[in-house]
Amino acid sequence: METVNFLRTVPLFSKLDETELVRFAELTREKAYPKGSVIVFEDDPGDSLFVVRDGRVKVVLIGEDGREVILGVLGVGEHFGELSLIDDQPRSAHVIAMEDTSLLVLRRDDFRRRVESNPAVAWALLAELARRLRRADSKIHGLALLDVPGRIAKLLLDFAQEGQSETIEKPLTHQTIAHMIGASRETVSRTVRDFQNQGLIRVERRRISVANRPALKQLAQTRL
């Protein structure tokens, strides 16, 4: 029942009835990954869906020179690996544990059988893919058209919106932000310090809170 209750909080499964949730719960297995471990490698076979039960992971691309670009940071209730469940293609990025992390793992064949027997799951998956595509479009827009302060402002607003709170629940280091927006850590640190001095954000115990949403929105809309 503990797994069933957890799946009920995951958007992909939240619309299912109790019987279907129990069926999914019976198919999952839990795996633990220590901080820094690679959960999946880019180009690995895509044979499973992963749901974050506890902890945080980052989805990254790593260049030949070792440079890291963070495509996303996922926390409790979020999932990855759904693309490979649909198209049978290899993994499109690395996924790395940012802290000790526990995941629920659902095999592709099991997931497909449940989808085929319950269209509600298919619609939920389509809705989630559409949401991620819109987020990807928005991120590309920001990287192409905004300066560094604008990119940081947009990133902070997006994370705050995800948590539906002025306080961003996912701890974000300056290095993580730099990898997500394509800037140097030094530039990010300087900009975050400027935001604090201007009263746009508050930082307490590595938690960032939005203090002046209108000003951040204006920065996030200012084009190069």
Burial code (b: 16+ CB inside 10 Å, e: under 16) for 175-211 equals ebbbbbbebeeebbeebbeebeeeebbeeeeeebebb
The residue from 68, 99, 130 where one domain ends is 130
Please tell me whether residues 175 and 201 are part of one structural domain.
yes
- What confidence score (pLDDT) does residue 65 get? 78
Quick one: pLDDT at residue 218? 92
The last residue of a domain, from among 99, 130, 161: 130
pLDDT tens digits, one per residue of 40-96: 999 888 889 999 999 999 999 887 777 888 988 999 999 998 877 777 788 889 999
Domain co-membership, 122 together with 170: no
Same domain, 176 and 66: no
List the one residue out of 126, 106, 103 whose CA is nearest residue 114. 106
pLDDT value of position 189 = 95
| pLDDT for 108 | 87
Q: Domain residues for 187? A: 146-220
Segments of the chain scoring below 50 in pLDDT: none
User: 11 and 121 share a domain?
Assistant: yes
Of 130, 158, 183, the domain-final residue: 130
Q: Domain holding 75: CATH number?
A: 2.60.120.10
